[in-house]
């Protein structure tokens, strides 16, 4: 598409901009003649840094402004952290690309670089994620969680000022921002990632042929299938990733395996299931796992 100009929309945070630059670079590598413009858009989730996400609409508050920009043709494609997306999209939109995923674990950051098991009783941990809080409380009921909002830099300042004894973040975010800070990886048996965590995705309008073709050229197909499976699990459960729902899919040796987990908000009950299937049957594999977990979701989250 010589001379074509592609407008990429993104949230204005340092992390979101870094992710969008990665997408822009991949597009330019595919076709150097394409003029890629990055447009930062303020979302409600970014403007309100105080209220818990559950009170202002959940993770969807990070994408509504970007989807409006797509509809109004201010941008051609929106770049998201996949875990910020609701489990179902409006029929006018589609996920047209997924970028190779970074490490997907959660990490713990504390002044002494302690692991979860090394934290003293009554340690105050900052996290805005019920999924993280519930899982770690299930493992260590003697810890205390308090809600924290803001970008990574803001959260680190709150940690350094003593507002919290430790904070939990996604390892992928640290990787993308090249943060120079000691951290401890939280094992999956303690904290399973959120569906979509660590994956960058591109959203477009279904009828934007040029944007869809360009996005398809940078799509990493195995990562895309993993994302489809994880989102299918969430959709089957009928819940968003703002609740204590965790899940991860992997493709190894020609097979897709999935592990999913449901907890109550107090972190006193946990149900986990696993399943597998062919990678090309990603949606069905995710649906199968969601079906296995659904009775627990109705019991623990209903």
Q: Are residues 40 and 180 in the same domain?
A: no
**HSE toward the beta carbon, residue 132, CA cutoff 13 A:** 24
Q: Are residues 214 and 246 in the same domain?
A: no
In a domain, 193, yes or no: no
In a domain, 191, yes or no: no
CATH for 161: 3.40.190.10
The average pLDDT across 196-222 equals 96
The pLDDT of residue 53: 47
Q: Are residues 83 and 18 in the same domain?
A: yes
- Looking only at the bridges linking them, the beta strands covering 124-126 and 144-146 are parallel
Q: Are residues 77 and 135 in the same domain?
A: no
The pLDDT of residue 168: 98
* CA gap 214, 171 in Å, rounded: 28
Q: Is 220 considered catalytic here?
A: no
The pLDDT of residue 54: 46
3-state secondary structure of 53: helix
Return the ∠ at Cα 9 (arms to 6 and 11), rounded to 5°: 160
* CA gap 302, 297 in Å, rounded: 7
Q: Are residues 9 and 85 in the same domain?
A: yes
Q: Are residues 37 and 126 in the same domain?
A: no
**Which of 46, 84, 102, 165 is an active site residue?**
84
pLDDT digits (tens, 9 = 90+) for 228-250: 999 999 999 987 556 899 999 99
Return the ∠ at Cα 201 (arms to 181 and 19), rounded to 5°: 35
pTM: 0.91
Q: Are residues 140 and 67 in the same domain?
A: no
Q: Are residues 33 and 70 in the same domain?
A: yes
pLDDT digits (tens, 9 = 90+) for 38-75: 999 986 655 445 544 444 444 566 788 999 999 999 99
The pLDDT of residue 101: 73
Question: Which pLDDT band holds residue 174 (cuts at 50, 70, 90)?
Answer: confident
Q: Are residues 171 and 245 in the same domain?
A: no
Domains held by the chain: number: 3
The average pLDDT across 253-264 equals 97
- Residue 139: domain span: 106-186
In a domain, 192, yes or no: no
In a domain, 43, yes or no: yes
DSSP3 helix / strand / coil % (the chain, rounded to 5)? 40, 25, 35
The pLDDT of residue 50: 53
């Amino acid at each position: 598409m010589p001379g074509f100009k592609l407008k990429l929309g993104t949230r204005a945070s340092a992390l979101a901009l870094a992710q969008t630059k990665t997408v822009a670079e991949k597009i330019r590598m595919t076709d150097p003649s394409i003029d890629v413009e990055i447009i930062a858009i303020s979302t409600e989730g970014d403007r309100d840094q105080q209220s818990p996400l559950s009170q202002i609409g959940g993770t969807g508050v990070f994408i509504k402004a970007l989807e409006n920009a797509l509809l109004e043709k201010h941008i051609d494609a929106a770049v998201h952290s996949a875990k910020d997306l609701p489990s179902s999209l409006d029929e006018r939109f589609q996920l047209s690309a997924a970028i190779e995923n970074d490490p997907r674990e959660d990490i713990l950051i504390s002044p002494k670089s302690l692991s979860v098991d090394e934290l003293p009783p009554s340690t105050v941990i900052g996290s805005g994620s019920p999924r993280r809080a519930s899982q770690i409380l299930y493992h260590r009921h003697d810890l205390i969680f308090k809600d924290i909002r803001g970008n990574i830099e803001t959260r680190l300042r709150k940690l350094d000022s003593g507002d919290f004894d430790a904070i939990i973040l996604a390892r992928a975010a640290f990787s993308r921002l090249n943060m120079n800070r000691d951290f401890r990886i939280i094992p999956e048996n303690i904290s399973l990632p959120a569906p979509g965590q660590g994956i960058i995705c591109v959203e477009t309008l279904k009828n934007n042929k040029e944007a869809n073709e360009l996005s398809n050229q940078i799509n990493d197909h195995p990562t895309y299938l993993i994302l489809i499976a994880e989102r299918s699990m969430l959709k089957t459960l009928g819940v968003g990733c703002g609740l204590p729902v965790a899940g991860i899919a992997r493709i190894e040796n020609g097979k897709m395996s999935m592990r999913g987990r449901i907890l109550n908000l107090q972190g006193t009950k946990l149900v986990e299931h696993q399943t597998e299937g062919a990678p090309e049957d990603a949606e069905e594999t995710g649906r199968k796992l969601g079906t296995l977990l659904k009775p627990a979701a109705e019991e623990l989250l209903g």
